[in-house]
């Protein structure tokens, strides 16, 4: 839905503004002033109305001030984009009457007989660009296909079986809940109804710190209306009982292949 896309864009812009403002706060005070003297460029730092000369030997200091000016200009541009997005969000309703019916628990199982998303549309969704988890991308060493690498062997097995069963999915696509970004292992669209599901594989439950983080993440999902055994799929493994292909196929069949 376009409203949700705009809502995600609003969150992305806000996040980017915060990141730039944090960076600006760590840079030197004041601003850079450049003055030309013949064929030479002189640099000054303007702080509280005072102009302080920056010698060539301190070029890095001038560079930091120049970068600060650049970040401020980028932030101002982002603020303009944010204003445009917020005007849209205020003007248009979050859900149209038709969308309300599609999401109604009473109507949804009946309308799905007639409102099946086209395979082509889901394929476009799968191939469209999206914001991915930026954390340690170098750890994505398990190759699934020419354009997909994941972080673990078990995730590679899940991705491979989803592809074999032609289930449209995205790997580590950002999801915002209460303004906080999450990166589900797999964001999946039902091949017949187009409904969205999230699949988390818990591979380090023997680690207490990992288990605690997993519990916090599941609780955050619930705050966003995403619940286990409804639209949140969980699989797990231990060193003695690894994830199996049969378990993956059974999970896929239960959620996406049964009528």
Query: Which residue, chain included where needed, has tokens 């303007």?
Result: 46
What class does CATH assign to 118-257? alpha beta
Q: What is the pLDDT of residue 93?
A: 64
CB of 234 closer than 8 Å to CB of 221: no
- Confidence band, pLDDT 50/70/90 cuts, at residue 100: confident
| More confident site: 131 or 99 | 131
Most confident of 37-41, 59-63, 111-115: 59-63
Q: What is the pLDDT of residues 146-199, one digit of tens each?
A: 789 999 999 999 999 999 988 999 999 999 998 899 999 999 999 888 899 999
- Flag the least confident range among 21-30, 36-45, 197-206: 36-45
- Confidence band, pLDDT 50/70/90 cuts, at residue 215: very high
Q: What is the pLDDT of residues 66-92, one digit of tens each?
A: 999 999 999 999 999 999 988 888 877
CB of 242 closer than 8 Å to CB of 154: yes
- Pairing between strand 232-236 and 196-202? parallel
pLDDT over 90 percentage in the chain: 63
Q: Is 137 helix (H, G, I), strand (E, B) or coil?
A: helix
Round to whole Å and give the CA distance between 5 and 13: 12
Taking the domains of the chain in order of start, what are their residue ranges? 2-91, 118-257
């Amino acid at each position: 839905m376009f409203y949700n896309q705009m809502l995600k864009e609003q969150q992305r812009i806000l996040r980017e503004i915060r990141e730039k403002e944090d960076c600006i706060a760590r840079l030197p005070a004041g601003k850079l002033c450049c003055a030309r003297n013949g064929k030479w460029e002189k640099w000054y730092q303007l702080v509280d109305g005072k102009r302080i000369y920056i010698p060539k030997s301190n070029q890095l200091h001038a560079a930091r001030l120049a970068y600060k000016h650049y970040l401020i200009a980028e932030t101002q541009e982002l603020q303009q984009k944010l204003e445009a997005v917020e005007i849209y969000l205020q003007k248009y309703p979050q859900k149209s009457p038709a969308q309300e019916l599609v999401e109604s628990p009473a109507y949804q199982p009946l309308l799905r007989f007639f409102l099946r998303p086209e395979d082509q549309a889901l394929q476009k969704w799968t191939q469209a660009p999206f914001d991915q988890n930026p954390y340690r991308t170098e750890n994505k060493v398990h190759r699934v296909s020419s354009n997909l690498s994941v972080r673990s062997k078990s995730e590679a097995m899940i991705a491979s079986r989803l592809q074999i069963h032609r289930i449209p999915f995205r790997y580590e696509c950002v999801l915002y809940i209460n303004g906080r970004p999450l990166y589900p292992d797999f964001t999946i669209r039902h091949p017949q109804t187009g409904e969205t599901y999230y699949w988390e594989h818990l591979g380090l439950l023997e680690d207490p710190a990992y288990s605690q983080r997993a519990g916090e993440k599941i609780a955050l999902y619930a705050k966003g209306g995403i619940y286990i055994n409804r639209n949140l799929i969980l699989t797990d493994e231990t060193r003695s009982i690894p994830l199996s292909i049969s378990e993956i196929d059974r999970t896929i069949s239960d959620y996406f292949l049964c009528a």
